[in-house]
Structure 1
Amino acid sequence: MTTTATLALNGEAITLKNMRVTISQQFPDKDQSGQTSATTKAEQGAKGKELRVNGEIPFKDAATLTRIFQLANATDAAGRRVVYRVANSVARAVNLREATFSGTLDAPQQDGRMSWAVTFTLTEYLSVPEKKEAAANGRKTSKMQTAAGAGGQAAAGEDADKMTWFEKKVLKPVNEALG
């Protein structure tokens, strides 16, 4: 049986026999019906995708098992888990590009076979919903900063024609009183 690499992390092939890759994503919600029979739910966002990888490593390829554990335990200079660039057809189909190891990395010995059954999970790093949420929060923040900045400039000495009622009647007198 030939083994083809169907998964690579940062360009490094992960070779497992009989590899199976499963993608999943959670959409948590909370029941809002109380004691009634209603089916109302409160959405709690879309969580990042998870890539579950299962396969076998023969005992003679113990170096492969060692390398998977090294990749899973790798940290960057700040002590955070390493983010890997994922190359896999399933991951590509759902736009999962970067992931970190999460959950459990299992490698139990197979009964009657000279191999380990390896199972691990890669969780999406900066998922699309997370990026959208961050972008939305960034826009809200920049709008608030712009509005506050404009109000401060108007109260500091712009023409009375360009000031709003609130700036003329409230902010300007307060500003003048404070000196």
Structure 2
Amino acid sequence: MRLNDFILRGSERVVHGRLRIETESLGGNTSASDRANNGIKPKALVVSLVIKFDAAEHLRELVRVVEAVDGNGKLVVYDILDDTAQAMGVRQVQFSDDFNVRQMPGQSAWRINFTLQEYLSVPEKIEQRAQAQESETQSADGQQVVDADSGEEQSQSQEYTGVEKVLKWADDALAPSAEESGATA
């Protein structure tokens, strides 16, 4: 396994892939099996390996990689090269959850377990694109959209040409005011 330029050293390495699909039962207390899809969560790779005591520098290097943060204080995102990651379509990961180191009974070695979580998964990218398109659609041309109720207020603050002033005056004189029309209804 390779994370950027770091090569993971150790023996008995095992990588398990995990993909969580969040669902929620819609049946309540009934026996109905309908479920609501709450989304596909980022994939995770659970890694287990053994490092011997006489190769303690490999463990120290691994701990440095796990603790690494970028200039903003966020965990480093790693490009990953691994057969299981490639098969699952995982290209970038971050360390997440626990990093466990246990001494193996009767052996001069440690068993190390950790989780790498996918960074910017495909479902996450699709969700971000949809949100960006939605916000672009809502902002449209940058023109103000006025609903029907507030259109009257806008027309009152508008300036009219000579003919429009006369027509507006005639319209106001002939049409009942809002108070009068409410009283007769």
Deviation at 1:104, TM superposition (A): 0.7
In the TM superposition, what is the alpha-carbon distance from 1:119 to its structure 2 partner?
Answer: 0.7
Runs (5+) with no aligned partner, structure 2:
160-185
Amino acid at match of 2:2: A
Say if 2:93 is the partner of 1:113: no
Q: Is the CA contact (8 Å cut-off) linking 1:102 and 1:123 kept in structure 2?
A: yes
| Matched positions, count | 159
* d(CA) in 1 for partners of 2:36, 2:101: 38
Amino acid at match of 1:177: S
SS across alignment from 2:157: helix
Q: Distance in 2 between matches of 1:113 and 1:170?
A: 79
Tell me the percent identity.
28
Identify unmatched segments of 5+ residues in structure 1. 1-6, 156-165
> Shift in Å at residue 173 of structure 1?
7.0
Max Rg structure: 2
Provide the rounded CA distance (Å) in 1 between the counterparts of 2:143 and 2:154: 16
* Candidates 92, 100, 103, aligned match of 1:98: 92
Whole-angstrom CA distance in 2 between matches of 1:96 and 1:178:
58
Report if the CA contact (8 A) 1:21-1:51 is conserved: yes
For 2:9, what is the secondary structure of its paired residue? coil
Q: TM-score, normalised by structure 1?
A: 0.81
TM value normalised by structure 2: 0.78
Is 71-80 or 47-56 further displaced after alignment? 71-80
**Structure 1 consecutive aligned stretches of length 4 or more whose deviation exceeds 4 Å:** 169-173
Report the residue type matching 1:68 in the other structure.
L
CA distance in 2, matches of 1:151, 1:66: 59
